[in-house]
Amino acid sequence: MKFIALIVIVLGIIAVAQLMRVYELTSKLRNRREEEIELRDNKMNANLMLLFMFIFFGSFLWMVARYGAGGIPVAASVEGVGYDWLMGLNLIIILLVFFLTNGLLFWFAYKYYKKPGVKAYWYPHNNKLELLWTVVPSIVLAVIIILGLKNWNERQGASGEDAIRVELYSKQFDWTVRYAGEDNVLGKFDYKLINGNNPLGLATRNTIDARVQEMDSLIKAAEDRINNPDNIFSVESMEKMRGDLASKERIYLRLKQLQNLHNDSLDVYAYDDIVKPSNTKLVLCKGREYEFSFRAEDIIHSAFFPHFRAQINTVPGMVTRMKFTPSMTTEEMRKELNDDDFQYILMCNKICGASHSNMKLFVEVLDEAQYNEWWTQEIAENTFKK
Amino acid sequence: MAVGAHEAHGHHEENFVSKYIFSHDHKMISKQFLLTAVFMGVVAMLLSILFRIQLGWPEESSDFLHAFLGDRWAPDGILDRNMYLGLVTMHGTIMVFFLLTGGLSGTFSNLLIPYQIGARDMASGFMNMLSYWLFFLSSAIMIISLFIETGPAMAGWTVYPPLSALPQAVPGSGLGMTLWLTSMAIFIASSLIGSLNYIVTVLNLRTKGMHMTRMPLTIWAFFVTAVLGLLSFPVLFSAALLLIMDRTMGTSFYLSDIIVGGEMLDNTGGSPLLYQHLFWFLGHPEVYIVLLPALGLSSEIISTNSRKPIFGYRAMIGSILAIGFLSFIVWGHHMFVTGMNPFLGSVFVFTTLLIAIPSAVKVFNYLTTLWRGSIVYTPAMLFAVGMVSTFITGGVTGIILADSALDIAVHDTYFVVAHFHVVMGMSAVFGMFAGVYHWFPKMYGKMMNTRLGYVHFWTTLISGYGVFFPMHFVGIAGAPRRYYDYSVYETFDANQFEIIFELNQIISVFAILGGFAQLIFLYNFFYSIYRGPKAVQNPWKSNTLEWTTPVEHIHGNWPGALPEVHRWPYDYSKPGAEEDFIPQIVPLAEGEEEH
């Protein structure tokens, strides 16, 4: 089969080459020159310009009819509804410009092809016209800028006093949720405190002391391994071990500093935090404003909630934030879409390695009664320090 | 003086090496740039076809993938997940930097600056040669990085740290990334030497009568492009240098509070956002470094083949300058959702949308140039019209992305991919094709086949829009870019999964068709170099100076004295003139106004 395909391709190439040769010889016979474009070629291309315009616009409209907005459901947050309105308005503006200018372009390209005896119109400039198409776009853009910035400032502004605080923690290739507990304040954290028992590195007197001790014993063990005369290492691995040790010592020093500066009175904020195992779905309450904060453990990820029209990157070494208010429960959206399996989603939207496209977290929006029931149980069972 | 220098040059004995390899002649260097760019373009297009096969037919075994990537990267014909990221990264890097920056400016600035301003050669032939050979070296290193065991760079063409700094995070951030950074450092050196040379040549070597306000728009575009490159590439160089230090010397410019692969790093105090600011300080002017030459070439081609002066010559120059200036203060629009201060974001919304004004002026001026013209459809003219169409189509979606409030939900989705591919992958590439068809007779002294050019244009236009238009729909649906596949959609919305899957297949089919369409060009290009009919001196009846030089290339461009310029380059169909063009060397008739 492959062999036949290969033969067909080779024969095809030979056929094209022969056709070219024939074309070349006939051109020579007819004394045709490549730079002299014949009337019928000009006319053909002009007609194709018009034909292309119809196909282009037609297939665009067909795609709008068939795919709409690519199958994304209506916005499920208050902010998302505002977003969709603004997007709709801007799309109308740019589509008008798109059809007008592309339409004129292809129309002129069709109409004004070179005809014998017709000379082009000498028209080097017209200041009034140029002023017109400087001023009109400026006015339209001013409207776009004003509406856009108004929306942007609202979305980026501080959230209300009673907004529910939630932290989302990202690493290759999953998400971890931390709810702020009854006091609605997220406890302090430090990346140096992260270990198996404390996956998000919450900072309390206990976690700090435990981690200092752990680091101390890790350093001792490393020193013993290096200094034990019975162990024989290659030069490279010795160098690597010494490097690791030095790095551990630097982290240890900073941990000690953390220990000295730690304010115990802040620990209560962390005690009632609820840290779910990674990949456990995020549960939200319809109609409540949320203040999310984001952290990243290893590299940059992006927290993208397409259904709530919300996105922010998560960056190692800094905390980023966003806010939104869910306006439809998962149940309501399922009814709307007539799809019982539909789920809200949080996707990673910044390239982060092999499993980037699988880094997701399900999101469930409950109504207030369901949410309160779920919340009471969580508070009772899953706080950081029961 | 210049003539004397030329005669002194004439006594050099040219051997094979000094004529074809380490040539100082701008015409030869231009051809060298073009051939390298064609090669790099073919490689980058092939890479895109490989990952389009994956996106169109995920989980299906492909002999084609296996043939190119082997057991290492496509076991059983299924693309490796890491290599997928490597392919997108290398496709982007090669297309943006090697085809559209080095290739486009390198070819046409070199060819046209001395020709169109009436100079014997570039200000420094030696620097010009150095610029090409550094470009060649960096291209070679970039290509070599495709073949190493841990794979090429895999952090996307923007190579954001920490991903690009940590080999534990992705295998491509090992040796692949080292080669990427080395290649880019050399590339930047090449680009800087080239830019400096272009600027000096334009400012100092214009022939008598060639005032700045009589320069063709091509030269204006190349000139501003060179200024942009000269001012912005050094910043990328710094960014790359700091990244190299973070990778090898344990510094913390971009790294802070990281645990990766189970290892706690002691880096602290660095900021990944710093890299992004530095990268996009180049990255946005870069977009115009890619686009301005295409606009310049198209201006010239549209005017010549409409047999009409370009409408609003001074406004066109003003637009080029305005775009050039504004391009330096818009970079933050790439960073609206990175955690950058939202107020700073608002400032960038304002500056970015301002740039739409000179762009709109350019479009309307092109339209008015075509209006009541007498259009001759050479293949170059077709591509120039296609360039304007794609510039419009890609430009209007930029308005959505420049608006921070709207960018939130389409940032890093296929909407962005669609936007910049219509502008760079189509508009800038069309400008480059237009340039090749138009100036091929000047470069090689032969004619390309017109009818094959027609077939090439129409298949490329249809397949190009076929690829990039559906991407807007995928993107507005929120589908993230750089995803290996979209199977994740199956877990939360089966309906949307179907739509994205179907659109992806359509896109991939057109991508493959588009790939075949370029074979027509390659065939025509190489066949015509060897067997094309001999060109005449001024095949397109054009006004600019390059068409007054002999068809056979000679050292120093003009056999006798340098030509003297008496008028602007756009005297097409001027009332009162017998012919529909008046070359720049023709003195003004008595009582004739310049324009």
Residue pair B183/B142 in contact (Cβ under 8 Å)? The answer is yes
Q: List b or e across B207-224, with b for residues whose CB sees 16 or more CB atoms inside 10 angstroms.
A: beebeeebbbbbbbbbbb
The DSSP bridge pattern shows strands A282-285 and B259-260 to be: unpaired
Residue B4 pLDDT more than 70?
no
Out of B306, B404, B496, whose CB is closest to A120? B306
Euclidean distance between CA atoms A118 and B474, whole angstroms: 46
Final residue belonging to a domain, choices A227, A242, A266: A266
Q: Is A151 a domain residue?
A: no
Out of A101, A316, A345, whose CB is closest to B162? A316
pLDDT in tens, B283-305: 999 999 999 999 999 999 999 99
Mean predicted confidence (pLDDT) in B520-532: 93
Residue A342's contacts (CB-CB under 8 Å, 6 or more residues apart) are A73, A330, A333, A334, B492, B493
Mean predicted confidence (pLDDT) in B28-37: 96
Mean predicted confidence (pLDDT) in A353-368: 96
Q: List b or e across A49-69, with b for residues whose CB sees 16 or more CB atoms inside 10 angstroms.
A: beebbeebeeebeebeeebeb
Nearest alpha carbon to residue B519 among A13, A11, A8, A20: A13
> Which tokens hold the place of B79?
């693309």
B58 touches chain A (CB under 8 A): no
> Which tokens hold the place of A209?
């002391």
Residue with tokens 């589509």: A95
| A182 and A307, same domain (yes or no) | yes
Q: List b or e across A117-150, with b for residues whose CB sees 16 or more CB atoms inside 10 angstroms.
A: eebbebbbbeeebbeebbeebeebbeebbebbbe
B419 touches chain A (CB under 8 A): no
Residue B469's contacts (CB-CB under 8 Å, 6 or more residues apart) are A59, A60, A63, B393, B418, B422
Out of A120, A129, A320, whose CB is closest to B573? A120
Mean predicted confidence (pLDDT) in B445-466: 96
Residue B429 pLDDT more than 80?
yes
* Weakest mean pLDDT among A109-113, A306-310, B66-70: B66-70
A51 touches chain B (CB under 8 A): no
Interchain proximity A254–B454, CB inside 8 Å: no
- CB atoms inside a 10 Å sphere around CB B551: 17
A109 touches chain B (CB under 8 A): yes
Euclidean distance between CA atoms B561 and B121, whole angstroms: 14
pLDDT in tens, B373-402: 999 999 999 999 999 999 999 999 999 999
| A165 and A311, same domain (yes or no) | yes
Euclidean distance between CA atoms B292 and B282, whole angstroms: 15
> Which tokens hold the place of B474?
């995928």
The letter for the amino acid at B317 is I
B409–chain A nearest CA distance, Å: 5
B148: DSSP letter: S
B487 sits in the region (left: phi over 0; alpha: psi -120 to 50; else beta) called alpha
Domain count, chain A: 3
Out of B257, B361, B374, whose CB is closest to A119? B374
Out of B349, B366, B488, whose CB is closest to A358? B488
pLDDT given for residue A290 in this prediction: 97
Residue B43's contacts (CB-CB under 8 Å, 6 or more residues apart) are B94, B143
| A309 and A381, same domain (yes or no) | yes
Q: Is the peptide bond before A306 cis (omega within 30 degrees of 0)?
A: no
Residues of chain B neighbouring A96 (CB-CB closer than 8 A): none
A380–chain B nearest CA distance, Å: 30
Residue A16 pLDDT more than 90?
no
Residues of chain A neighbouring B376 (CB-CB closer than 8 A): 37, 42, 113-114
Residue A362's contacts (CB-CB under 8 Å, 6 or more residues apart) are A281, A282, A343, A344, A345, A346, B491, B492
Residue A211: give the domain boundaries. 204-266
Residue B312 pLDDT more than 70?
yes
Report the percentage of chain B scoring pLDDT > 90: 91
Euclidean distance between CA atoms B295 and B321, whole angstroms: 13
Rg (CA), chain A: 33
The rounded mean pLDDT for chain B is 94
Residue B203 pairs with which residues in a beta bridge? none
pLDDT given for residue A386 in this prediction: 53
Residue pair B269/B256 in contact (Cβ under 8 Å)? The answer is yes
Residues of chain A neighbouring B478 (CB-CB closer than 8 A): 70, 72, 304, 306
Q: Is A221 a domain residue?
A: yes
DSSP three-state, residue B128: helix
Interchain proximity A134–B575, CB inside 8 Å: no
Phi then psi for B572, rounded to 5 degrees?
Answer: -105, 135
Residues of chain A neighbouring B413 (CB-CB closer than 8 A): 349
> Domain of A182: which CATH number?
2.60.40.420
A129 touches chain B (CB under 8 A): yes
Q: Is A19 a domain residue?
A: no
Report the percentage of chain B scoring pLDDT > 70: 98
Euclidean distance between CA atoms A191 and A203, whole angstroms: 9
pLDDT given for residue A1 in this prediction: 67
Residue B309 pLDDT more than 70?
yes
In B332-467, DSSP assigns E strands to: none
B221 touches chain A (CB under 8 A): no
Q: Is A113 a domain residue?
A: yes
Interface of A with B in 205-234 (CB under 8 A): none
Torsion, Cα of A234, A237, A242, A243 (10° steps): 150
| A320 and A177, same domain (yes or no) | yes
Residue B6 pLDDT more than 60?
no
DSSP three-state, residue A339: coil
Nearest alpha carbon to residue B125 among B12, B236, B25: B25
CA distances from B271 to A135, A303, A349, B240 (A): 41, 19, 20, 15
Residue B8 pLDDT more than 70?
no
The letter for the amino acid at B288 is Y
> Which tokens hold the place of A31?
């004394």
Interchain proximity A101–B363, CB inside 8 Å: yes
Residue B15 pLDDT more than 90?
no
A76–chain B nearest CA distance, Å: 13
* Three-state secondary structure readout of A124-173: CCCHHHHHHHHHHHHHHHHHHHHHHHHHHHHHHCCCCCCCEEEEEEEECC
Integer distance in angstroms from the first to the last C-alpha of chain B?
31
Residues of chain B neighbouring A3 (CB-CB closer than 8 A): none
Residue pair B176/B148 in contact (Cβ under 8 Å)? The answer is yes
Residue B327 pLDDT more than 90?
yes
B552–chain A nearest CA distance, Å: 18
Euclidean distance between CA atoms B470 and B476, whole angstroms: 10
pLDDT given for residue B21 in this prediction: 86
Higher pLDDT, A35 or A333: A333
| A41 and A182, same domain (yes or no) | no
B365 touches chain A (CB under 8 A): yes
**pTM, two decimal places:** 0.95
B288 touches chain A (CB under 8 A): no
Higher pLDDT, A22 or B52: B52
Instruction: Find, in chain A, the residue whose alpha carbon is nearest to that of B397.
Output: A94
Residue A283 pairs with which residues in a beta bridge? A364
Euclidean distance between CA atoms A198 and B313, whole angstroms: 67
pLDDT in tens, A238-251: 999 999 999 999 99
Q: Is A198 a domain residue?
A: no
**pLDDT confidence of B311, banded at 50, 70, 90?**
very high
**What ipTM, to 2 d.p.?**
0.94
Out of A97, A108, A310, whose CB is closest to B371? A108
The DSSP bridge pattern shows strands A344-348 and A360-366 to be: antiparallel
Interchain proximity A311–B337, CB inside 8 Å: yes
B313–chain A nearest CA distance, Å: 7
Euclidean distance between CA atoms A122 and A284, whole angstroms: 67
Integer distance in angstroms from the first to the last C-alpha of chain A?
69
Mean predicted confidence (pLDDT) in B415-428: 96
B52–chain A nearest CA distance, Å: 16
The letter for the amino acid at B378 is T
Residue B1 pLDDT more than 50?
no
Q: Is A195 a domain residue?
A: no
Nearest alpha carbon to residue B546 among B82, B219, B265, B180: B219
Mean predicted confidence (pLDDT) in A110-125: 92
| A109 and A41, same domain (yes or no) | yes
Out of A87, A172, A311, whose CB is closest to B411? A311
Burial of A213 (0-12, 13-18, 19+ CB in 10 A): exposed
| Rounded-to-5 percentages of helix, strand, coil across chain B | 70, 0, 30
Residue pair A46/B458 in contact (Cβ under 8 Å)? The answer is no
Mean predicted confidence (pLDDT) in B81-99: 96
Final residue belonging to a domain, choices A72, A99, A122: A122
| A179 and A326, same domain (yes or no) | yes
**Polymer length in residues for chain B:** 595
Final residue belonging to a domain, choices A219, A241, A266: A266
In A144-277, DSSP assigns E strands to: 164-171, 174-179, 274-275
Q: Is A11 a domain residue?
A: no
A304: DSSP letter: E
| A374 and A298, same domain (yes or no) | yes
The letter for the amino acid at A73 is P
| A355 and A221, same domain (yes or no) | no
pLDDT in tens, B150-206: 999 999 999 999 999 999 999 999 999 999 999 999 999 999 999 999 999 999 999
The rounded mean pLDDT for chain A is 93
**pLDDT confidence of B5, banded at 50, 70, 90?**
very low
| A243 and A294, same domain (yes or no) | no
Mean predicted confidence (pLDDT) in A153-177: 95
Out of B270, B360, B451, whose CB is closest to A133? B360
A156 touches chain B (CB under 8 A): yes
| A178 and A324, same domain (yes or no) | yes
The dihedral through the CA atoms of B186, B189, B190, B191 has a sign that is: positive
| A290 and A315, same domain (yes or no) | yes
Instruction: Find, in chain B, the residue whose alpha carbon is nearest to that of A158.
Output: B342
pLDDT given for residue A26 in this prediction: 83
* Three-state secondary structure readout of B281-322: HHHHHHHHHHHHHHHHHHHHHHHHHHCCCCCCHHHHHHHHHH
Interchain proximity B409–A306, CB inside 8 Å: yes
Q: Is A279 a domain residue?
A: yes
DSSP letters spanning B426-462: IIIHHHHHHHHHHHHHHHHSB---HHHHHHHHHHHHH
pLDDT given for residue B2 in this prediction: 43
pLDDT in tens, B214-260: 999 999 999 999 999 999 999 999 999 999 999 999 999 999 999 99
